[in-house]
Amino acid sequence: MLLTSIGRALPAFLLFTGALGTPVEQRQASVDTFITSQRAVSIEGVLANIGADGSKAQGAAAGIVVASPSRSNPDYWYTWTRDSALTYKALVERFIAGDTTLRKKLDEYVSSQTYLQTVSNPSGGPDTGGLGEPKFNVDRTAFTGAWGRPQRDGPPLRATALTLYANWLIANGNTTQAANTLWPIIAKDLAYAVKYWNQTGFDLWEEVNGSSFFTLAATHRALAEGAALATKLSKTCDGCATAAPQILCFLQGFWTGSYIDSNINVNDGRTGKDVNSIISSIHTLDPASACTSTTFQPCSSRALLNHKAVTDSFRTVYGVNNGIPQGKAVAVGRYSEDVYYNGNPWYLATLAAAEQLYAAVYQWNTIGSITVDSVSLPFFKDLLPSITTGTYASGSATFKSIVSAVTTYGDGYVAVVQKYTPANGGLAEQFDKSSGSPLSAVDLTWSYAAFLTATDRRAGTVGPTWGEKSNNVPPTTCTAPPSCNVQVTFNERATTTFGENVFIVGQLTQLGNWDPNSAIPLSASKYTSSDPLWYATVSLPSSTSFAYKYIRKTSSGTVVWESDPNRSYTTSSGCGSTSTQNDTWR
């Protein structure tokens, strides 16, 4: 415990040299000790937040992952499809690696998700977009409050977690459970992904409505491995094999030449340097792959340069990073422009930065060589200033130097987490950018899961292949799927005065994402004193539920919203169909 306490109190570069050896050796010993104790705390932290018997999840249904026990400031007493899937992916990998005590938890997760897929919610019904609902109450009922919806990462992430389990069941003589219990859930998630991958939605931080790199990378993996699972089970996965390469083609457009722009098709006022791209890289790690840049594998040139760009973006925005030079680990947040809780480092983001480096080392050791090219050279130069481009075989001194330097760099990120983790090992969501004190939701499940996966990669433990080698060549030309849109005519009766105009605005991109400046104008060409009709016909995606409202704009630019609550509408499933919605100003 003494080494752990020292490690938390001092950054690695301030440890004294003495009987314990060089500062690097002391850092290594301190990180090793911290990992041993913190892994035990982290698996306990994850299980404590899973109903029905988790000690901090009392009242949650069996198999339901509670995001955090925090019920106010912030209220995270919900279950998010995304967080739950990533948590259970970590648990399935742990189960496959030998922790058989988790089998009951995995089966409870399967049951809970089977039920949640049937719950109608503000994003829609089971067959009309409802699988894109981001969160539910912990008793498995729908959350009906205002939120950033839909979020299209949940279904593919859940499909991946369950596909890992299904493949294990097949390999261990239980194909029946895989086919009859897991496949129906997976198939619904894959069908959602096929249908909606080319439509905008909210990103994993629930703030930006556009095209998210994280969502699409997760979807590409899910469809690739889902198609393979379907073949094993003699099932069909309609559209999976066709959509996967098109998504991979689309993903190439997020690469700017020096980093991944994490959200496109949206004007969010950000650079796009976002840790969501690093989380994408570690989620799509395939232990059997090469350092493939098209799939942004952790050891790929693109992913390494992106790691530098993203982590460097935090060096000057957090006080806790003051004085730390490039090539040394820093505290990492979501994105540098973040204002949530005044914008701070996140434990899971800092651990993701470590995990990518550990995963890269695993891949290099497996491949038996490291290639430094013009794209990745700036990353490597931060660690080894004299390095030049070339391919270095595993027996070479340069290979060993790179592996040592990158591992040490990864350990530095764990040391940052170590420094700002309280004595009891509790991992909150964030830590203060100036003082390092834990902030926001306590005992965040995703933080604990991130610690487990990062340190698994450090130990050389990885999940099974998902078939990246057969799914890493994008088509020469990207072809978007044929759109399945419907035409909805909105009739709004609103008595107006000269100079006033009426608009419709809502949560869809086609309705301006609630931005009055992007609202859709209604026509008054049929307006009469006896029938004050304003109308517009809008092309919208089929089978989609959404909220909307009408607003008035005066000639002076003043915006007047109609009264609450938000209106809601669900488009029909028939491509090219037409419908009319009649409303009256309130």
Q: Which residues are catalytic?
A: 203, 206
Give the number of C-alpha atoms closer than 13 A to the C-alpha of residue 245, restricted to the C-beta side. Answer: 12
386 burial via Cβ count (<10 Å: 0-12, 13-18, 19+): exposed
Binding residues for substrate: 147
> Is 148 buried (19+), middle (13-18) or exposed (0-12) by CB count in 10 A?
middle
Nearest-angstrom CA–CA distance, 346 and 331: 8
Dihedral pair phi/psi, residue 553, rounded to 5°: -120, 130
End-to-end distance of the chain based on CA atoms, in angstroms? 64
Phi, psi of 490 (to 5 degrees): -100, 115
**Strand, helix or coil for residue 328:** coil
547 close to 570: Cβ distance less than 8 angstroms: no
Can you tell me the distance from the alpha carbon of 201 to that of 75, in angstroms, rounded to the nearest whole number?
A: 23
Task: Of 403, 408, 404, 406, give the one whose Cα is nearest residue 367.
Answer: 403
Give Rg (Cα) of the chain: 25
> Is there a contact between 27 and 21 (Cβ–Cβ < 8 Å)?
no
At 504 the three-state DSSP class reads strand
- Report CA-CA distances (Å) from 230 to 20, 187, 327, 558: 55, 9, 44, 55
Element (H, E) at 366: helix 347-367
